[in-house]
Structure 1
Amino acid sequence: MKNTLIVLLFCLLSTAAKADNFKKVQAVAKLKNKDFCIQLPVEIIDNKYVLPAVRIKGSKKMYRFLLDTGCQSGCISTEIYKELGLSAFFSDSISDGISKKAADFSFIDLSFNGLSFEKVGVSVHTKKELNSAVSCSQIDGVIGYNLMRACVWSFDHNELTVTDDVDHLNNIGQKQKEKISNGTIPLIVGAFVDGFGATMLFDLGDNGTFEVRNSMLKYLRKKELTKGKGSLYSTVIGEIQDTAALKLVKTPGFRFQNDTLKNAITYVGTSSVCSIGAGILNYYNLTFDFPKRNLYVKPILQDFDETKFINFGFKYRIDNGEVVCQFVWANTEAERSNLKPGDQILRINQLDLSDTSRYDKCQLKSIIEQELSGEEITLSVSGQEKAIVLPKKSLFSCSY
Structure 2
Amino acid sequence: MRIRFKVPLLVLGTFFLLSNCTVKWTKAIQRGHISQKAFNEHVKMEIKNGLIFVPVKIDNVEYRFLFDSGAPFSISEELQRNQSYKVISHGNIVDSDKSKKRIDWVQVDSIKIGSIDFVNQTAFIGDFNANPKLECLGFDGIIGSNLMRHCNWTIDQEKKELSLSNAVSEEALNNSVTIPFDEDNQYSMFINFTIGRAKLSNILIDYGSNGSIALSKKAFDVLKKNGIVDKTFLESGAQQNGVVGAPVDINHEIALSDSVQLDTLKLLAVELKTGKSDMIGNQVLSRFKVTIDWDNKVLHLQEPKLDTDPIETFGFRIGYTNEKGVHIQSVIENSIAFKKGIKPNMKVTKVDGLDFENGSSFCDYFQNEFGPTIRIELIDFNGDRKEFIIEKTSLDTNS
- Shorter-chain TM-score bucket reads 0.7 to 0.9
1:86 partnered with 2:85: yes
Matches within 5 A, 1:173-252: 173-176=175-178, 178-183=179-184, 184-220=187-223, 221-223=227-229, 224-239=231-246, 241-244=248-251, 246-252=252-258
Describe the shift of the 1:248–1:303 C-alpha distance in structure 2 as closer, same or farther (beyond 3 A): farther
Alignment pair present for 1:142 and 2:137: no
Q: Report the equivalent of 2:263.
A: 257
Q: How far off its partner does 1:333 sit?
A: 3.0
8 Å contact from structure 1 (residues 323, 353) kept in 2 = no
SS at match of 1:231: strand
CA separation of 1:180 and 1:29: change in aligned 2, threshold 3 A: farther
Matching residue's letter, 1:291: D
* Correspondence for 2:285: 281
Secondary structure of the residue aligned to 2:129 is helix
Residues 302 and 119 (structure 1 numbering): CA distance in 2 closer, same or farther, change over 3 Å?
Answer: same
Aligned to 1:164: 166
Does the CA contact (< 8 Å) of 1:172 and 1:298 recur in 2?
no
Q: How does 1:322-337 map to 2 (within 5 A)?
A: 322-337=325-340
Contact preservation (8 Å) 1:229, 1:327: yes
**1:73-118 deviations in whole A, cap 9, x for unaligned?**
2111111212222232121111125221100111102112111111
TM-score by length of 1: 0.85
Partner of 2:98: 98
Seen in structure 2, the aligned counterparts of structure 1 residues 17 and 147 have a Cα distance that, compared at 3 Å, is: same
Deviation sequence 1:328-347 (CA, Å, 0-9, x none): 11112322333222222122
User: Relative to 1, partners in 2 of residues 1:41 and 1:136: Cα closer, same or farther, differing over 3 Å?
Assistant: farther
2:379 matched to 1:381?
yes
Deviation at 1:194, TM superposition (A): 4.1
1:114 and 2:115 are equivalent in the alignment: yes
| Conserved 8 A contact 2:260-2:270 | yes
Answer whether contact 2:287 2:305 (CA < 8 A) is retained. Answer: yes
Deviations 1:105-152 (A, max 9, x none): 1110211211111121111122403x6444643111111111101111
Shift of 1:394: 2.5
Distance 1:239 1:17 in 2: 23
Q: 1:171 to 1:294 in 2, by over 3 A?
A: closer
- Determine whether 1:12 maps to 2:7: yes
| TM-score normalised over the length of structure 2 | 0.85
User: In terms of mean alpha carbon deviation, does 10-19 or 274-283 score higher?
Assistant: 10-19
Cα distance in 1 for partners of 2:327, 2:396 equals 25
Residue in 2 that maps onto 1:41: 44
How big is the alpha-carbon RMSD for the aligned residues of Structure 1 and Structure 2? 2.8
* Inter-partner Cα distance in structure 1 for 2:145 and 2:31: 8
Ranges in structure 1 where 5+ consecutive residues have no aligned partner = 1-5
Cα pair distance change 1:240/1:304, threshold 3 Å: farther
Offset from partner CA, 1:234-290 (integer Å, 9 cap, x none) = 11112452435x22122232101211002321121012xx21112223322211111
Taking the aligned partners of 1:284 and 1:241, their CA distance within structure 2 comes to: 32
Structure 2 counterpart of 1:338: 341
Counterpart position of 1:152? 152
Q: Distance in 1 between matches of 2:140 and 2:325?
A: 24
Task: Say if 2:99 and 2:246, in contact at 8 Å, map to a contact too.
Answer: no
Output one character per residue of 1:298-327: Cα deviation in whole Å (capped at 9) or x when no partner.
2322355333xx222111135569532111
The 5 A counterparts of 1:65-80 are 65-71=65-71, 73-80=72-79
User: Aligned pair in 2 of structure 1 residues 356, 162: CA closer, same or farther (>3 Å)?
Assistant: farther
- State how many pairs are aligned: 377
Q: Deviations over 1:193-214 (max 9, x none)?
A: 2433323111111111211111
Query: Partner of 1:69: helix, strand, or coil?
Result: coil
Identity between Structure 1 and Structure 2 (%): 21
Aligned to 1:299: 303
Q: Distance in 2 between matches of 1:100 and 1:112?
A: 30
The aligned amino acid for 1:203 is: D
Mean alpha-carbon deviation: is it higher for 154-163 or for 388-397? 388-397
- Counterpart of 2:274 in structure 1 is 268
Segment of structure 1 superposing worse, 40-49 or 21-30: 21-30
| Residue aligning to 1:32 | 35
State the shift of 1:163 in Å: 0.7
- In structure 2, the partner of 1:3 is none
